[in-house]
Amino acid sequence: MMQALPGPYLLFLGDISEPSYAKTAFGLRDWAPERCVGELRCDGAGVTTGLAPMAPADAYAAGARSLVIGVANAGGHIPVSWMPSLLQAMEAGLDIVSGMHTRLADVAPLRDAAQRLGRRLIDVRQPPSGIPVGSGRRRSGKRLLTVGTDCALGKKYTALALARAFAARGIDADFRATGQTGILIAGGGVPMDAVVSDFAAGAAEMLSPDAAAGHWDVIEGQGSLFHPAYAGVSLALLHGSQPDVVVVCHQPGRERVLGHPDFALPTIEDTIALALQLGRRTNPAIRCGGVSLNTSHLDPTAALRLLDDERERLGCAVADPMRGGAAFERLVEDCLA
C-alpha cells in the first residue's frame, strides 16, 4: 500500500495550537522533504512546518496529488472544523491520506465526496491482516528499540538517525516504523497502537523478523512504560521486539506527561531500569546503548553543555541525534559495541 501512496503531499495542520500534536507533519518535512510541496492550515491555527502555505488548488498545480493529515489529537478523531479544508482538497483533485484512528471512509461527508469526485481515502493506520499472537521465540539478527520517558519527544527521529548512521558505517540496517508518520516516511511498517491488544506483541515480532546475524532492525518506540494510557502498547512492543539494545529518549525540561498533567515524568534512570527489567523477559541480554536528548529548545552551547553534564551524571553515551557531532558518534558506537 505504502509504495502506491499518491505524492507529493500537501501537509494539513488542522487547527491545532500544540506543536507536539504535529509529529506527522514535522516528520515528513524533516525526513521526506522531497515528498512535501507545502502546508495547509485552518484559519487561526498556530502551528506551522515552515513550508509554503498553499491552497489545495495551488498545491495541485505545484504537483501535489494527496493531502496528508499531518496532525493527531488524543483519541484520533477527525473534528468537524477540518471538514471544509478536506472537502476543498478533494474538490481540487487531491486524495486524502490519514494516520488517525478514525477511518476516513467512516466519515460520511468524506466518503460521499470521495465517491462523487473519484478520490481515494487512504488509512495508513490500518494494521495488516494475519498478525499472529506473540510466541516469544528468539529471532536471529540484532534489534534496537527506542524507549521514551513520554510520547512525542524524539523516539522516531532517534531511530531514523541511528538507522542512517548504521547504514553510513556500512552496516545492513532497517528502520522499522510503528506509527503513522514513520510508516509514511519508511513506506511500510505496523501501526502498533491500532493493533488489537491480544496481538500487539505478535505485531512487534512480525515487524522485525529473523535476519542475518549482522543485520540491525532499528525499531521506532511508542508511548512510555510509565504512561497512564499507553504503557500497555509500550510493553507489548518491548516484549515483541526483544531488543538487544534500548536507547532511552527524553526531552529535558519536560516534567509532566503530555496531556496528563497529574502525572510526573519518570526520570531517565528509572526509564532505563524499567525497560531493562521488563525487556529481560524476552531477551536476557538486553542492555542500554545510551540516551537521546531532544534539545531543540536550547541554543547550541547550552545543548552541548547539557549533553556533557548528562553523560557525566548517567555514565553512558548521551547525544541529540539532530545535532550529530562527537556525542552522537559515541552513541552510535556504544549501540553497536
Do β-strands 36-40 and 173-176 pair in parallel, antiparallel, or remain unpaired?
unpaired
Q: Would you give the binding string for its own copies spanning residues 149-188, x where CB under 8 A is met?
A: ----------------------------------------
230 lines the binding site for its own copies (CB under 8 A): yes
Binding to its own copies by CB under 8 A, coded x per residue (else -) over 24-53, reads: ------------------------------
With respect to its own copies, which residue has the nearer C-beta, 75 or 315?
Answer: 75
Q: At what angle do helices 108-117 and 83-91 cross, to 10 degrees?
A: 10
Q: Which stretch binds its own copies (CB under 8 A): 142-150, 165-173, 223-231, 284-292?
A: 223-231
262 in contact with its own copies (CB under 8 A): yes
Q: Which is nearer to its own copies, 211 or 263 (CB)?
A: 263
- Residue 204: closest CA among 263, 247, 267, 147: 147
| Alpha carbons 109 and 98: distance in angstroms, whole number | 15
The CA distance from 97 to 240, in Å, is 28
Site string for its own copies, 272-311 (x = CB under 8 A): ------x--xx-----------------------------
* Closest by CA position to 240, among listed 202, 192, 199: 202
How does DSSP classify residue 220?
P
Asked if 141 and 215 touch (Cβ cutoff 8 Å), the reply is yes
Alpha carbon 254 to chain centroid, angstroms: 19
* Binding to its own copies in span 127-146, by CB under 8 A: 132-137
Interface with its own copies, residue 189, by CB under 8 A:
no
C-alpha grid cell for residue 310?
548528562
Q: Can you give the binding site for its own copies, defined by CB under 8 A?
A: 74-76, 101, 132-137, 192-198, 200-202, 226, 228-237, 239, 260, 262-263, 278, 281-282
